[in-house]
Amino acid sequence: MSATDQPLLSVRDLKKHFPIKGGILGRTQAMVQAVDGVSFDVRAGETLGIVGESGCGKSTTAKLLIGLVDRDEGDIELGGKSLGRDISLRALRRDIQMVFQDSYASLNPRMTILDSIAFGARVQGLDDPVGRARRLMARVGLDPDRFAGRYPHELSGGQRQRINIARALVMSPKVVVLDEAVSALDKSVEAQVLNLLSDLRAEFGLTYIFISHDLNVVRYISDRILVMYLGEVVELAPVDMIWAEQAHPYTRSLFSAMPSMDPDNRTQKPPLTGDPPNPIDPPPGCRFHTRCAFAADVCKARHPVLGPMVQGSPHWVACHLHDPASGHPRAGQGVPA
C-alpha cells in the first residue's frame, strides 16, 4: 500500500453530544455522548478502517467529517486547512465525499442515473458534468449508453452502489468515507465492489475511511484499523499488527466473535457479554470496565489515555493494562490469555 507519512486528514478531540428532548415544553432532558474526544490522522493514499459495535459512534464520526452533522467541539483539518476557519463547508464537500449503506435511499428516485451522478458536479460549477458522469459510469462498470436514462428502481443493489461510488467520485474528491458501503450486498457482489474500490483508490489516488462491522472486509481493504467503543477510540494499529495482537480487551472480544470456517481456527477466547452501557451516562474511568474481565479499581477511577504500546510504536491503545504507571495490578503483562 502506498501512503505518504504526511496526514491528509487530521481529526482532533471531535465531540458530538445529541440532546434528548422531552416534556410538554420540549426541554433537553439528557445528552447522548455519541462521539466524545475522537482523534486520529489519515495519510494520503491510506485506507483507515473503523470498527465497533452498533452505537459506538462510527457513523456519527463519518457524518461529522463531511459536515452532515455539526460538531460541538474539536478540529478537522484537511491538507493542513481547518474546516470552518480556512475552508468552507462547500469546499469541504468537494474534497470529502461519502457512500452510504442504503444504495436506494442515497439516490433520488425521480432522477435518472446520469442526472444523479452529474448533480454534484453541476452544483459545484465543475466543467462538463455530463461528460464526467458518463466517464465514471463506464469506469464503475455500467455502460452509459444502456444505463444513463434509467432510474434507481430499475437497477440491482450492486449496480446502485456502483452509481453511488461514481456519484461520490464525480467531484474528484481527496477523501471518500464509505459507511457500511458493501454491507447490504450479496457476498459475490460485495467482493466485486471491494475490488472496484481498491482499483479506484490506486487509479485516482484516493484516501478512504472505511466503516464496517465486518472485520474480514475491513482487513481486506484497510491499511490501519481504528476501534471505537462508546464514542471513544480504544485501539488504533496497522492491520497486520492488530491481527497478530489485539491489545485492548474490547478489541479481543470483537475478534473472538468473528466467525471462522476453519475448525482449527476456532477461538477459545470468551466473546463479549452484556450490552454496551447507556451513552447518556457512560461509566466513569474506563468506559469498558463494566464488561471487562480485567477491570481493576484503577479502571473505575481513571480514564485510560490513548497512546503507543511502546515508545514510537504505531500500535496505540487506551487501556491501563498497557501502562506500567497506571497502578493496574497486571499492568505491563499485556492482555492475559
Residues near ligand SF4, by CB under 6 A? 248-249, 286, 288-289, 292, 294-295, 299, 304, 319-321
Cβ atoms within 10 Å, residue 330? 13
**H or E stretch at 198:** helix 187-204
Question: Minimum distance between the CB of residue 29 and ligand SF4, rounded to whole angstroms?
Answer: 29
Residue identified by cell 466524545 is 36
Distance separating alpha carbons of residues 256 and 268, to the nearest angstrom:
8
Nearer of residues 59 and 326 to ligand SF4, judged by Cβ? 326
- Identity at 59, one-letter amino acid code: S
Question: Minimum distance between the CB of residue 332 and ligand SF4, rounded to whole angstroms?
Answer: 12
Question: Minimum distance between the CB of residue 155 and ligand SF4, rounded to whole angstroms?
Answer: 45
Nearer of residues 158 and 304 to ligand SF4, judged by Cβ? 304
Distance separating alpha carbons of residues 238 and 251, to the nearest angstrom:
14
Residue whose C-alpha is closest to residue 231's, from 50, 30, 46: 50
Question: Minimum distance between the CB of residue 174 and ligand SF4, rounded to whole angstroms?
Answer: 35
Question: Minimum distance between the CB of residue 235 and ligand SF4, rounded to whole angstroms?
Answer: 10
Nearer of residues 100 and 294 to ligand SF4, judged by Cβ? 294
Residue whose C-alpha is closest to residue 39's, from 284, 231, 297: 231
Nearer of residues 180 and 323 to ligand SF4, judged by Cβ? 323
Distance separating alpha carbons of residues 301 and 252, to the nearest angstrom:
23
Nearer of residues 115 and 245 to ligand SF4, judged by Cβ? 245
Maximum alpha-carbon separation in the chain: 67
Q: Please, what sign has the CA dihedral across residues 52, 259, 257, 317?
A: negative
Question: Minimum distance between the CB of residue 274 and ligand SF4, rounded to whole angstroms?
Answer: 13
Nearer of residues 276 and 304 to ligand SF4, judged by Cβ? 304
